[in-house]
Amino acid sequence: MRIDELPSIRHLPLFCNMATENFEALMRGAYSQSFPAGMQLVEQGAPADFLFIVVEGAVEMYAGWGKRESTMGVIRPVGCFILAACIKDAPYLMSARTLQPSKIVMLPAPDLRAVFRRDTEFAVSVINELAGAFRTVIRHAKGLKLRDARQRIAAYLLEQSRYADNANSFVLQVEKRLIASYLGMTPENLSRGLRQLETEGVRVKGMEVTVTDRDRLTEFAAPNVLLDGPDPEGSDGICLPPPTAIHPV
Amino acid sequence: MRIDELPSIRHLPLFCNMATENFEALMRGAYSQSFPAGMQLVEQGAPADFLFIVVEGAVEMYAGWGKRESTMGVIRPVGCFILAACIKDAPYLMSARTLQPSKIVMLPAPDLRAVFRRDTEFAVSVINELAGAFRTVIRHAKGLKLRDARQRIAAYLLEQSRYADNANSFVLQVEKRLIASYLGMTPENLSRGLRQLETEGVRVKGMEVTVTDRDRLTEFAAPNVLLDGPDPEGSDGICLPPPTAIHPV
DNA sequence: GAGTCGACTTGATAAATATCAAGTTGATAG
DNA sequence: CTATCAACTTGATATTTATCAAGTCGACTC
């Protein structure tokens, strides 16, 4: 474990409130590794041996069934993934692969389970992390069931705009085929949907998005904190570098 | 809080490992109430004032957007709902209403948040509950994105068969319109889907389901522990009366 | 610069799913 | 028993979405 990565991990909401001694014990068992883009880190169904933390780069979470595959989210620094499986000592439900060259820290799951039993602050942080992750997935499922394809696209664009500080002009952070999969549609359909949304207040050229009529787009997508977030800031102790959760994609 | 409900709640995985003193403190602030069928208990968007526990009956969790509505799950005794919102002190993401006359216990959320900060065993139980709930929703989202309507129906029937001890003949536990909504389709489509599945090894008449060719149905649905569960028994202390989670619908 | 590759787009078509409009059934109230 | 009502079913149709088949574009290699 390289010492220069410790501070950024220590500031993660998951770790920022625990006793220093326990944090250091956890990190003694940790591995840090750099991976090229396109490397599979986790295969769904495998035993949950490690908690993964994305220190640099980006990681796609995806799920497969037969020959079909679907993107479930993208994790960016500094975020962790696969926490629930580690805690339950159950098989991973999702696979993970790097989208870019990435620096990843891996924490052995048994260490993790041992520590939250004796560090209540850490347990509280895990609770907050899991509660947030749960709510994120509920929102995703709600979107899939309540909105049609074009509405999901519109809501996604508005959410991305929010991440970009509500700018009317921003750049998509991931490939469109990945966005399509995340939103539960084919790439062809996303492409057509984006074109059709030109009459609803947004124009997309390549990776560049321009909101031309925010009111109109907002009326069309009808975004909603119960569907698109964000959640209020955690009741958990807040740490300076804001966390990055699974949502942004 | 009526004393005769305490034991069944005490046996919940969520509460069975905490200190008796803390359990009793929690229960002193609890309300117990009986509701008729069709009563709305929770409205999405409301502040999370209470954790709800279903002692008798059944409760539908559902979500709305505009005039659309979708069933997200059904909670049966003895299970709790809306835990994540209570923990994060954030608005409920789902509404809840009774499907039958139900006995419900309500725990003030502030009490809950206070107790898991000083009872590590309780914190660990909350962690396990949330991790399980997270994995359940991930499975639901995976099913929606990876399977088509008929495959979802077939997998649902096999799952129900599993709950019925793998019987080839069993009875649906909830109305079909609710199943349809849970599976992300219209009632008409569920009806047609059930008819079409007669050629895939299952026959449904009214509420009665008969698996006529399990191998064929299994091949068609391709069920999978990563999509349909179950998860291995919790690493948390196991309590005698088996928990009922959100899945069964 | 030419070639290659994958992402993206577009159009034509097919398949899946929703909607609308009757019916039918089954439970319950009077 | 009859009336009523909601759930369920069925058929006809419309809409949405996926699939297939070319193309275009841009990045990168040689």
Domains and CATH numbers, chain B: 3-118 (2.60.120.10), 144-245 (1.10.10.10)
- Residue B106 CA and nucleotide C10 C1' are separated, in Å, by 56
Taking CB atoms and an 8 Å cutoff, what residues of chain A touch B180? none
**What is the arithmetic mean of pLDDT over A72-78?**
94
Cβ distance B141 to A140 less than 8 Å, yes or no, reads yes
Greater pLDDT, A233 or B52 = B52
- Residue A184 CA and nucleotide D12 C1' are separated, in Å, by 29
How far is CA B173 from each of CA B59, B143, B161, B177, B178, rounded to the nearest angstrom? 12, 20, 11, 12, 10
* Residue B110: HSE in the Cβ half-sphere, 13 Å Cα cutoff: 2
d(CA A30, CA A10): 13
Residues near B245 by beta carbon (within 8 Å), at least 6 away in sequence: B79, B132, B133, B136
pLDDT, tens only, A163-222 = 999 999 999 999 999 999 999 999 999 999 999 999 999 999 999 999 999 999 999 999
Assess contact for A27 and A1: CB atoms under 8 A: yes
**CB distance from A127 to chain B under 8 Å?**
yes
Cβ distance A138 to B94 less than 8 Å, yes or no, reads yes
> How far does B4 lie from chain A, in Å, by closest CA?
30
Residue of A43, A65, A220 best to disrupt the B interface, most CBs of B under 10 A: A65
d(CA A193, CA B184): 21
What pLDDT does residue B241 have? 45
What pLDDT does residue B63 have? 97
What pLDDT does residue B91 have? 97
Residues of chain B by 3-state class (helix, strand, coil), percent to 5: 45, 20, 35
Taking CB atoms and an 8 Å cutoff, what residues of chain A touch B69? 146
- Residue B234: pLDDT above 90? no
**What is the arithmetic mean of pLDDT over A15-33?**
93
Cβ distance B141 to A91 less than 8 Å, yes or no, reads no
Q: List the single residue in A with minimal CA-CA distance to B128.
A: A88
Its sign, for the CA torsion B146, B147, B152, B154, is negative
Percent over 70 (pLDDT), chain B: 92
Collapsing DSSP to helix, strand or coil, A47 comes out as coil
Residue B124's nearest CA partner among A6, A127, A102 is A127
Q: Provide Rg for chain A, Cα atoms.
A: 19
- Residue B242: pLDDT above 50? no
Sheet holding A68-75, edge to edge: A40-42, A95-98, A59-65, A68-75
Q: List the single residue in A with minimal CA-CA distance to B136.
A: A134
Collapsing DSSP to helix, strand or coil, B136 comes out as helix
**Mean per-residue pLDDT of chain B:** 91
- Residue B221 CA and nucleotide C17 C1' are separated, in Å, by 19
**What is the arithmetic mean of pLDDT over A147-176?**
96
pLDDT, tens only, A26-64 = 999 998 999 999 999 999 999 999 999 999 999 999 999
DSSP letter, residue A201 = T
Residues near B21 by beta carbon (within 8 Å), at least 6 away in sequence: none
Question: In A212-239, which positions are buried (b, 16+ CB within 10 angstroms) versus exposed (e)?
Answer: eeeebbbebbbbbebbbbebeebebeeb
Taking CB atoms and an 8 Å cutoff, what residues of chain A touch B226? 44-45, 63, 65, 91, 93
- What phi and psi, each to the nearest 5 degrees, are found at residue A222? 45, 60
Collapsing DSSP to helix, strand or coil, A52 comes out as strand
What pLDDT does residue B2 have? 61
Residues near A22 by beta carbon (within 8 Å), at least 6 away in sequence: A115, A118, A119, A122
Which residue stretches of A29-148 are H helix?
A: 83-88, 109-118, 120-146
- Residue B107: pLDDT above 90? yes
Residue of B137, B185, B225 best to disrupt the A interface, most CBs of A under 10 A: B137
- Residue A147 CA and nucleotide D25 C1' are separated, in Å, by 32
Q: What six digits make up the tokens of B114?
A: 């206070």
**What is the arithmetic mean of pLDDT over A158-163?**
96
Residue B155, Cβ neighbours under 10 Å: how many?
Answer: 22
Partners of residue A203 on adjacent β-strands: A210
Closest CB to A135 among B84, B126, B131: B84
Q: Is the CB of B184 under 7 A from strand C?
A: yes
The alpha carbon torsion through B98, B99, B102, B107 (nearest 10 deg) reads: -30
Could you tell me whether strands A102-108 and A31-35 are parallel, antiparallel, or unpaired per DSSP bridges? antiparallel
Angle between helices B109-118 and B20-28 (to 10 degrees): 170
**Mean per-residue pLDDT of chain A:** 91
d(CA B12, CA B217): 34
Residue B246 pLDDT class (50, 70, 90 cuts):
low
Nucleotide closest to A188 measured between CA and C1': C9
Place of tokens 């229960």: B27
Beta strands in B40-135 (DSSP E): 40-42, 50-56, 59-65, 68-75, 79-81, 95-98, 102-108
Query: What pTM did the predictor assign?
Result: 0.93
pLDDT, tens only, B181-193 = 999 999 999 999 9
